[in-house]
Amino acid sequence: MTSGHLQIRWFAPFLALVLAYGGSGCGDDVENPIETNPNEVITTVTLTFAPASGGTNPQAQFRDADGPGGADPIIAGTTLTVGETYTLTVEFLNELEDPPEDITPEIFDERDEHQTFLVGERVEGPATTVSTDALIRHAYADTDTLGLPIGLTNTVEALAVGATTISFGLRHMPLINQLPQKRAGLEDEVAQAGGFDSDNAALALPGSWDVVVDLPITVEAP
């Protein structure tokens, strides 16, 4: 997979849809087989940056409301202000449902099975190696019931003026025989592997990706 392009990577959710709608010969009498798939179906990812000093909240969004194929995704980057510190919250929607389903509460309920990762060449944070020219600094700001990061709430500092693309992924690590697969230090493993691209053989995270999106971020002077 070529890095640097704006894209979503549909893994199991796409397969589930293919199986649901392509593998059945009985028309509209399809019971919801997606429920048996451990991955969430996510069409829309919204990152909201609330500045500590107040004011409007910049948002970055990946939206592919009709799912894989069909219309192209709509990708909206955002602009941050150097010197500002933001609380970054994340919302996940499944817009294939009518009305659209907010998946975020479900992810929080299953927080011991989920973790987000934020990486990029110009990102400094727990999932990246040291960057001397970082534009933003990321930190987790929430923990699951075992004290491990979730990443639905984060802190982002805008360090320097410039433009970059971040990759943001949600990993789902379902219990196996009631035992957690999520473990301490996954963000370190991503950092050591140099990111979480799907063909990254150096990375052996448990579980699978619910969604991965690339989003442009610009940092401007105040």
Q: Which is nearer to Ca ion, 17 or 193 (CB)?
A: 17
Q: CB nearer to Ca ion: give 8 or 80.
A: 8
Binding part of the chain for Ca ion, among 56-64, 127-135, 154-162, 212-220 by CB under 5 A, reads 56-64
The residue (of 19 and 139) whose beta carbon lies closer to Ca ion is 19
> Per-residue b/e over 1-28, b at no fewer than 16 CB within 10 Å?
eeeeeebbbbbbbbebbeebeeeeeeee
CB of 8 to Ca ion, least distance (A): 9
Choices 57-65, 130-138, 167-175, 186-194 (CB under 5 A): range interacting with Ca ion: 57-65
Q: Which residue's CB is nearer to Ca ion, number 39 or number 115? A: 39
Question: Least distance in Å: CB of 30 to Ca ion?
Answer: 20
Task: Locate 122 and state its tokens.
Answer: 């110009």
Interface size with Ca ion, residues (CB under 5 A) = 4
Question: Is the CB of 66 or the CB of 109 nearer to Ca ion?
Answer: 66
| Cβ-based neighbour number of residue 202 at 10 Å | 11
Binding to Ca ion in span 164-183, by CB under 5 A: none
Q: Does 42 bind Ca ion (CB under 5 A)?
A: no
Smallest separation, CB 210 to Ca ion (Å): 17
The mark string for 59-78 relative to Ca ion (x by CB under 5 A, - otherwise) is -----x-x---xx-------
Q: What are the φ and ψ backbone dihedral angles of 63, each rounded to 5 degrees?
A: -140, 120
- Strand 136-140 and strand 123-124: pairing? parallel
> What is the sign of the dihedral through the CA atoms of 70, 98, 36 and 31?
negative
* Cβ at position 20, least distance to Ca ion in Å: 16
Q: How far is the CB of 183 from Ca ion (least distance, A)?
A: 34
What residues make contact with Ca ion under the rule CB under 5 A? 64, 66, 70-71
